[in-house]
């Protein structure tokens, strides 16, 4: 469905993103994870050509075989919305505050699907049902400020899926939401992707959220993919030290941790460097507690299996535990 090859995005003298290969199959959910500044939003937005004007893109991004790089604005407008749907982080800012939400969904239907005017209302209510917005006939008359955060995000999802896109890009869609609402939205996206055979690119800084929704995970740092593979393998037997660090900063299950009350949480040393501030070789150098001399050179790609690869000179040892136990249950802390 989506295939990225040798993608490079530069702004001025700095190469922000450099991805050799990344692909998503139809109906599959890929989680792209990394801290702020690791290039994940840039990568996601490059797919639909929504990048700053001074960004230079090279390489290839194909959606169902159609090349997206260096398209004209007009061709891109066609593809956005119809082939690819997008959900942004802040639902309040993504919706027009002066327009009833039903009309905003209708707009997407009329633009991309050319639904006849008389059917728009009926289709809008249907879409509201699909995103589990109860009482759709009433809700379409509301303005964004009259809805809760979760409802707004559902409206955005309705707009994004209005034209039956083959790919849905979700950029931190749950970061602004309560954990309870977040859980519902994640379940909704999972269901929609399964029912419609829609590929989903889910972007988040939180590996916990990514793990809850993705079949595959790609860990991005300094604009480079450091580890990719199935969710089970990336979480259960992570190899790259950055993936390990992201797993460790997660606060863990609430019931399991009351024993470690008041203990310091595990952190990642330092912070993500600014544009162009990354060291050569392994990008995680300088923050990694397991750094070796050879990390100054670019780490080679190591394939653990056809479904799991990473780039690290000093990876974590393979865990002997069966992965299902590590992902699903268990309970001990590692610090």
Residue ranges in contact with another protein by CB under 8 A:
35-36, 148-149, 178-183, 186, 205-209, 211-212, 235-236, 245-268, 271, 319, 321, 326-327, 329-334
CB 7 to another protein: min, Å = 24
Backbone conformation region of residue 316, classed left if phi is above 0, alpha if psi is from -120 to 50, else beta: beta
* CB nearer to another protein: pick between 70 and 148: 148
Q: Under a CB-based contact definition with an 8 Å cutoff, are residues 27 and 201 in contact?
A: no
Nearer to another protein, 70 or 319 (CB): 319
Comparison of 27 and 208: residue with beta carbon closer to another protein = 208
Closer Cβ to another protein, 221 or 313, answer by number: 221
Residue 132: CB minimum distance to another protein, A: 16
In whole angstroms, the minimum distance from the beta carbon of 289 to another protein comes to 14
Regarding beta strands 29-33 and 216-221, do their DSSP bridges make them parallel or antiparallel, or are they unpaired?
Answer: parallel
- 84 beta partners: 80, 167
In the complex with another protein, the residue whose CB is nearer, 68 or 218, is: 218
CA distance 4 to 22: 5
The distance of closest approach from Cβ of residue 14 to another protein in the complex, given in angstroms and rounded to an integer, is: 18
Chain length of the chain: 335
Is 125 or 234 the residue whose CB approaches another protein more closely? Answer: 234
Task: For residue 282, give both structure tokens.
Answer: 């392994």
**What's the closest the beta carbon of residue 190 comes to another protein, in angstroms?**
11
Nearest distance, CB of residue 130 and another protein, angstroms: 22
The minimum distance between CB 88 and another protein, in angstroms, equals 16
In the block, tokens 């039956």 appear at 164
Q: 133 is written with which tokens?
A: 């917005």
Judged by CB, which is closer to another protein: 119, or 206?
A: 206
Task: For another protein, give the closer residue by CB, 73 or 335.
Answer: 335
Which pairing describes strands 199-204 and 216-221: parallel, antiparallel, or unpaired? unpaired
Q: Give dist(CA 238, CA 241) in Å, integer.
A: 8
CB 166 to another protein: min, Å: 27
Pairing state between β 14-24 and 224-230: unpaired
Is residue 231 within 8 A of residue 217, CB to CB? The reply is yes
């Amino acid at each position: 469905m989506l295939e990225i090859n040798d993608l490079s995005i530069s702004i001025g003298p700095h190469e922000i993103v450099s991805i050799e290969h990344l692909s998503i199959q139809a109906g599959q959910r890929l989680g792209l994870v990394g801290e702020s500044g690791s290039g994940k939003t840039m990568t996601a937005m490059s797919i639909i050509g929504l990048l700053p004007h001074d960004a230079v893109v090279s390489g290839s991004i194909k959606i169902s075989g159609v090349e997206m790089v260096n398209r004209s604005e007009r061709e891109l407008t066609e593809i956005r919305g119809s082939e690819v749907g997008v959900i942004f982080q802040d639902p309040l800012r993504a919706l027009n505050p002066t327009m009833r939400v039903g009309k905003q969904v209708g707009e997407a239907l009329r633009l991309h699907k050319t639904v006849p005017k008389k059917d728009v209302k009926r289709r809008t209510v249907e879409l509201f049902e699909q995103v589990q917005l109860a009482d759709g006939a009433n809700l379409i008359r509301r303005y964004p400020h009259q809805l809760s955060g979760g409802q707004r995000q559902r409206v955005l999802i309705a707009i994004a899926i209005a034209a039956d896109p083959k790919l849905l890009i979700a950029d931190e869609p749950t970061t602004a939401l309560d954990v309870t609402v977040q859980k519902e939205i994640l379940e909704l996206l999972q269901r929609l992707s399964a029912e419609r055979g829609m590929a989903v690119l889910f972007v988040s800084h939180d590996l916990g959220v990514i793990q809850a929704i993705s079949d595959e995970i790609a860990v991005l740092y300094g604009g480079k993919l450091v580890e990719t593979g199935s969710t089970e393998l990336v979480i259960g037997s992570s190899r790259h030290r950055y993936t390990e660090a992201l797993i460790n900063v997660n606060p863990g299950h609430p019931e399991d941790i009351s024993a470690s009350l008041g203990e310091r949480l595990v952190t990642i040393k330092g912070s993500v460097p600014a544009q162009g501030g990354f060291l050569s070789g392994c990008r995680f150098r300088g923050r990694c507690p397991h750094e070796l001399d050879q990390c100054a050179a670019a780490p080679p790609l190591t394939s653990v299996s056809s479904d799991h690869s990473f780039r690290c000179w000093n990876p974590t040892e393979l865990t002997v535990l069966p992965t299902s136990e590590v992902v699903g249950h268990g309970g001990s802390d590692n610090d």
